[in-house]
């Protein structure tokens, strides 16, 4: 292990961490343009087609806005959030109320709020402390109420309530004693209950009149538990659509006759799961589906939408997604993403096949030097295909074709989950890092979902081992391909990506020049001890896929794969960011490894946000951490950085250790 003095010398550098000026290097994109509050995002049309909603800043905080569809100049904010940003909204079925969920300081105790767009009245529709609401079902066919799940009685389980939107009255529909979730039909009748099994699988039981049947209708093993789920009922309740991997590798789109149980295959793809379907607003029958392997693809099964999808594919000139539709199905809201331009929201009117731009998410980036994203497939050492996404700095890829003319420092940016995935499309982190002079590679390592159950299950009990090997194999590919050089590779990520960062720094200490961990677990045993109570039903899957803390072998495995217990091997610069209120990865996960490194005099910079949870939702906090991170990376890899300046002043950032190890941080704190 290198001594701290040597580490300090390495961190200090030569006095300047920015690349020298060069004619082929683009102007710096300001952090605030990439990580500040998005101008207008999440555009949605009301079911009656009269209103458009979106999320935009009001008094510096993201709030809900509405405007008449054809009179955007009459836009007005309708919510009144003063601190915590709104991140998603949805319409009531009768188009009178805009609904949203929000928590306090990142605690993920989400409450449901409604704003009457005519009167401006905002109400908490689930006004309970230390509870978490789930949306069970919103139906186009029942206009005055929705179904919600609330864990007020028992924090582990969500009882299902009918919520009358006009009065706010809650009526118990389904008592929950140990069920993971419930599935309701378009008439808001609860029809199925999913219950986790001790082997990590799940059973679906019939529900009628609030009573759960004794015998499961469907049994799903561990191998299929993450890729077999019911999607929706047809409006008449006679057909249930599934994303179903049973008897195959990738999940197919399947229709099940409810009366007989007979299933009919609608579509499948050998490369990727079908996990979403586009259904007719009136009948609820499947019209099209999405497959996302390298990029999103729509495929029609109903000829009535075939021409619409073909038109949108031609007109979008990029990736597109249909995000909302009217009850009459005459108007669609379409999100278009061309990557080298900021994403935008468009109105598609089916009768005349016209596409009109409504909103631009970050209009301040319209003239910015954005770079393309390139899908790549990389083969792991044991033959798996790793779908990955590469962004290159303009100075390393002057032709813009994804084939670097010269190597650049590389940041491996690892997604969270671990059972989620990276997607093609606009990515602020990719653009930010590429603009600073780094190649950026996001790898769908084994365990990432969407690529078939064999790929997911290849990650079982492989945290810190084969999952990590996939990242190392991708780095070798990048070196062979001329993307980077062996001595200029950093690792960065949040949640599982934070774990992968810590694992990389501790288990392969000579591979990475530095690492940036955001809300990553350092001790898998304490992670499993502190997961929130509403994840009770998922515990057995955690145990089967990570290691079982109830067995001696499982405890030994969890210890072996925990970076905390190899902290003494870390020898390269490390930056850690954490939300103090994180309910998923407790702040103790970061405290522990920082304490272990401090005890060994290993330099580490530790930034905590007391008003954040699992990630940094408030723009001022996100900007502050990225300011520290880019100066830290610039010091480590030699890329450019916008000075920290006053980025910390409006944030709640607490630098609890190691300000001297990140360029410009100590000075920024002194000016604060």
Task: Point out the residues that are catalytic.
Answer: 495, 582, 614
Strand order in the sheet with 354-360: 319-325, 331-337, 344-349, 354-360
Cα 525 from chain centroid?
24
Reported as half-sphere exposure (CB side, CA atoms, 13 A), residue 556 has a value of: 3
Give bridge partners of residue 469 from the DSSP assignment: none
Q: Are 350 and 383 in contact (CB under 8 A)?
A: no
Q: The tokens of 381 are what?
A: 């050492």
d(CA 376, CA 438): 17
**Which of 300, 247, 301, 243 has the alpha carbon at shortest distance from 272?**
243
**Phi, psi of 650, rounded to the nearest 5 degrees:** -90, -5
- Given a contact cutoff of 8 angstroms between Cβ atoms, the answer to whether 47 and 91 are in contact is yes
Residue 232 near residue 256, CB atoms below 8 Å: no
Q: Do residues 605 and 658 lie in contact, with contact meaning Cβ atoms separated by under 8 Å?
A: yes
| Distance from C-alpha of 129 to C-alpha of 115, rounded to nearest angstrom | 20
Residues 6+ apart with CB under 8 A from 21: none
Contacts of 656 (CB under 8 A, 6+ apart): 594, 606, 607, 608
Q: HSE (CB half, 13 Å, CA atoms) of 166?
A: 3
3-state secondary structure of 592: helix
Question: How far is 276 from 294, CA to CA, in rounded Å?
Answer: 16
Helix runs in 426-465, H state only: 428-435, 453-457
- Compute the C-alpha angle 125/130/135, nearest 5°: 45
- Token readout for 273 is 């799961």
Beta-bridge partners for 91: 98
Nearest to 578 by CA among 462, 464, 656, 635: 656
Report the alpha-carbon distance of residue 265 to residue 660 in Å, rounded. 60
Q: How many residues does the chain have?
A: 672
Buried b (16+ CB within 10 A) or exposed e, 167-186: eeebeebbebeebbbbbbbb
Write phi, then psi, for 235 (nearest 5 degrees). Answer: -60, -30
Locate 130 and state its tokens. 């230390």
């Amino acid at each position: 292990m290198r001594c701290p003095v040597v580490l300090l010398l390495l961190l200090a550098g030569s006095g300047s961490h920015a690349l020298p000026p060069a004619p082929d290097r683009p102007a710096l994109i300001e952090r605030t343009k990439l990580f500040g509050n998005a101008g207008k995002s999440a555009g949605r049309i009301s079911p009656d087609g009269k209103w458009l909603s979106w999320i935009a800043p009001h008094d510096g905080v993201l709030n809900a806005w509405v405007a008449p569809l054809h009179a955007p100049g009459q836009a007005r904010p309708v919510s009144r959030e003063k601190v915590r940003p709104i991140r998603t909204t949805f319409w009531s079925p009768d188009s009178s109320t805009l609904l949203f969920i929000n928590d306090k300081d990142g605690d993920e105790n989400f409450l449901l709020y409604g704003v009457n767009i005519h009167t401006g009245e905002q109400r908490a529709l689930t006004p309970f402390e230390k509870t978490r609401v789930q949306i069970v079902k919103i139906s186009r066919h029942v206009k005055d109420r929705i179904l919600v799940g609330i864990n007020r009685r028992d924090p582990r389980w969500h009882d299902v309530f009918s919520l009358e939107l006009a009065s706010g009255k809650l009526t118990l529909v389904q008592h929950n004693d140990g069920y993971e979730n419930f599935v309701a039909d378009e008439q808001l009748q609860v029809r199925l209950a999913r219950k986790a099994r001790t082997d990590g699988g799940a059973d679906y039981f019939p529900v009628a009149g609030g009573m759960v049947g004794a015998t499961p209708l469907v049994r799903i093993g561990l191998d299929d538990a993450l890729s077999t789920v019911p999607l929706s009922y047809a409006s008449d309740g006679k057909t249930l659509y599934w994303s179903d991997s049973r008897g195959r590798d990738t999940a197919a789109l399947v229709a099940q006759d409810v009366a007989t149980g007979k299933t009919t295959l609608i579509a499948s793809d050998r490369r990727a799961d079908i996990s979403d379907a586009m259904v007719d607003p009136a009948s609820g029958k499947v019209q099209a589906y999405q497959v996302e392997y390298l990029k999103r693809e729509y495929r029609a099964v109903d000829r009535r939408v075939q021409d619409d999808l073909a038109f949108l594919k031609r007109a979008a000139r990029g990736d597109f997604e249909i995000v909302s539709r009217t009850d009459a199905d005459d108007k669609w809201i379409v999100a278009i993403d061309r990557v080298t331009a900021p994403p935008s929201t468009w109105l598609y009117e089916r009768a005349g096949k016209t596409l009109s731009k409504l909103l631009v998410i970050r209009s301040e980036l319209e003239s910015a030097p954005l770079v393309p994203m390139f899908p790549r497939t990389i083969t792991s050492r044991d033959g798996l295909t790793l779908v990955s996404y590469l962004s290159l700095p303009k100075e390393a890829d002057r032709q813009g074709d994804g084939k670097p003319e010269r190597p650049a420092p590389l940041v491996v940016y690892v997604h969270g989950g671990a059972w989620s995935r990276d997607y093609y499309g606009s990515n602020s982190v990719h653009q930010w890092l590429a603009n600073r002079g780094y190649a950026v590679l996001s790898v769908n390592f084994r365990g990432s979902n969407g690529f078939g159950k064999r790929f997911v299950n290849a990650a079982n009990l492989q945290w810190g081992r084969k999952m990590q090997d996939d990242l190392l194999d991708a780095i070798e590919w990048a070196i062979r391909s001329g993307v980077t050089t062996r001595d200029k590779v950093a690792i960065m990520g949040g949640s599982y990506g934070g774990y992968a960062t810590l694992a990389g720094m501790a288990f392969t200490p000579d591979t990475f020049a530095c690492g940036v961990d955001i809300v990553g677990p350092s001790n898998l045993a304490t992670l499993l001890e502190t997961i929130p109570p509403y994840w009770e039903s998922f515990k057995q899957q955690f145990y089967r896929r990570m290691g079982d803390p109830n067995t001696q072998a499982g405890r030994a495995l969890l210890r072996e794969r925990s970076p905390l217990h190899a902290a003494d091997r870390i020898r390269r610069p490390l930056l850690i960011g954490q939300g103090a209120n994180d309910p998923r990865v407790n702040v103790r996960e970061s405290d522990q490894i920082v304490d272990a490194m401090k005890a060994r005099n290993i330099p580490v910079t530790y930034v905590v946000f007391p008003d954040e949870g699992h990630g940094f939702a408030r723009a001022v906090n996100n900007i502050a951490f990225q300011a520290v991170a880019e100066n830290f990376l610039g010091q480590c890899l030699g890329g450019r950085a916008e000075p920290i300046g006053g980025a910390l002043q409006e944030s709640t950032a607490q630098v609890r250790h190691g300000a001297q190890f990140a360029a410009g941080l100590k000075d920024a704190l002194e000016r604060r």
